[in-house]
Amino acid sequence: MKTARRIAFNFLSLSISEIISKVLQLAIFVYVARIFGKTVFGDFGFSIAFGSIFSVLVDFGMGLLLIREISRRKNLVGSYVYSAVKAELLLSVLTFVLAFLYLNIMGYGKSLKLTAYIMLLFFVLQSFTNIFYFVFRAFEKMHYDASVKVLRMLMLSVLVFLASSHGFIYTILMFPITEFFMLAVSAAIYLKNFGKSPREKISLWKDSVPFFVSMIFVTSLIYADSLIIEHMHGSQQVGIYAAAYNILIGLTFIPLMYSNAIYPVFSKYFVNDKSLLKFAFRKSISYMLILGLPISIGIYFLGERIIQLIYGAEFSESAIALKILCWFIFLRFINIVPGTLLTSINKQGSRTLSQGLVLGINLVLNLILVPKYGYVGAAFATVISECFFIILYSYFIRINGYRFSLFSALLKPLIASGAMAFIIVNVSNIFLSVIFGIVSYFGILVLLRAFGKEDKTLFSRIMKDA
């Protein structure tokens, strides 16, 4: 129960910080979209996609490896951090060289290239900040991670607002400026609370390769469609697509934060108690399904009103993409838990293979659908690709001795979601729709006894120990 309490505290810390951070991030994106319009917002979306993909080389997959290894050998934290910083300095130089070659070979305009370089610098600095985040997570001290994230978005929000009157370039320059400060803050927290001198020479290169390949696949899955849309249809369609996609990416913080909280625990249980690992995995799948399904259904029925409220009439076309992409949320909620489990049990190769196969499917679908259907085709490609994760992860989980059944856990949330949908469609005010929808959904789940004795015991013990 101490472990359950610790997971709950870390998940709560990360979730609160992510809610604040994602709300502020969305506010920044909306502000940029409304101030500068669809085309410039498309340039902004392209630069984020470009920076995200190229900065994967800087991290080189060392993040998850650091969490796993430091959680098992905390006395060597100094050695791991020293090795990671040294490697990322070298990789940063290589990243900028490759980015320069790509942008010039593809023949992008000067303003778009400048935007891309600025955002790449932001993501490279963030890669160094993340090294310290990984230490915080390995020690299960997620409140440090959470505090820095909130501080980052508060500072960035203020700076973006102040700089916007000076133009778009000055506005996006606030991203790397903010991150440089966050890097200094994170390093100071690390040195004060965890910092130790390197005790032995550790090489992360070989063991991080599967994680690196995995990150390439995952990041490309998220952002490659924006690059393809820009190349085939221009920045305006990227802006329409990004407006919808950013809302959904913001919501993925829920399964992502749960994954961050449970990952070090899964890793330790794999070594110490496999029966507890199976229990935690099974319950995690159930919770993610219960949370993910109503979000997707709610967005589907409220899509037009959400876009109108957030972005305004200029982005009305984004509602089409949003109503397609909303099903990606439900699938992502489910898929992140078996993916985390595979990494925790040292089967990251299976996870990487799954990601590579899905990326291949996604790229083929985008190349077929985007030329004819534009951002709508990209939205369908994203949802279809995510479906293949369920098939592949189910297979790899099963052959390693773990099982999960979606259908047995789906009936009651589906009934509750249907009732919720009826309510939100018939309530004209969007805020009241959301409130009534949440209350009705969980109320019906309670009436249907969707939470069993295990869940009640677990939560009562957590509250008792708190």
* Domain with 464 in it: 409-466
CA dist 215 to 197, 210, 240, 299, Å? 29, 9, 26, 28
**At 29, is the pLDDT very low, low, confident or very high (cuts 50, 70, 90)?**
confident
> Does 270 lie in the same domain as 240?
yes
**DSSP letter (8 states) at residue 167:** -
Q: Model confidence at 463, in pLDDT bands (50, 70, 90)?
A: very low
Tell me: do 20 and 147 sit in the same domain. yes
CA–CA separation, 411 vs 266, rounded Å?
A: 27
Confidence of residue 459 (pLDDT cuts 50, 70, 90): very low
On average, the pLDDT of the chain sits at 82
pLDDT tens by residue, 320-346: 999 999 999 899 898 888 888 888 887
**Tell me: the pLDDT tens digits for 62-96?**
776 777 777 777 777 777 787 888 888 888 999 99
The arithmetic mean of pLDDT across residues 386-393, rounded, is 90
364 and 422 fall within a common domain: no
Burial 234-273 (b: 16+ CB within 10 A, else e): ebbbbbbbbbbbbbbbbbbbbbbbbbbbbbbbbbbbbeee
Nearest-angstrom CA–CA distance, 258 and 284? 9
Q: Looking at per-residue confidence, does 5 or 168 come out higher? A: 168
Same domain for 71 and 207, yes or no, is yes
pLDDT value of position 174: 93
Question: Environment class of residue 456 by beta-carbon count within 10 Å: exposed (0-12), middle (13-18) or buried (19+)?
Answer: exposed
How many Cβ atoms sit within 10 Å of the Cβ of residue 279?
Answer: 14
361 and 459 inside one domain: no
Same domain, yes or no, for 383 and 445? no
| Residue that finishes a domain, picked among 404, 420, 453 | 404
142 and 45 in a single domain? The answer is yes
Total domains present in the chain: 2
Tell me the one-letter amino acid at 347: K
The whole-number pLDDT of residue 2 equals 52
Shared domain check, 92 and 18: yes
Question: Are residues 340 and 432 part of one domain?
Answer: no
Are residues 352 and 423 located together in one domain of the fold?
A: no
Q: State the virtual CA torsion across 381, 382, 388, 393 in degrees, nearest 10.
A: 160
Residue ending a domain, choose from 369, 404, 439: 404
| 382 and 418 assigned to the same domain | no
Model pLDDT for residues 39-51, shown as the tens digit of each residue: 888 888 888 888 8
Same domain assignment for residues 239 and 366: yes
Q: Which of 366, 385, 404 is the last residue of a domain?
A: 404
Q: pTM of whole model > 0.75?
A: no
Average pLDDT score over residue span 347-353: 81
3-state secondary structure 188-209: HHHHHHCCCCCCCCCCCHHHHH
Closest CA to 142 of 233, 259, 39: 259
pLDDT of the residue at 456: 59
| Range with the largest mean pLDDT of 142-146, 233-237, 278-282, 415-419 | 415-419
262-276 pLDDT tens trace = 777 777 777 777 777
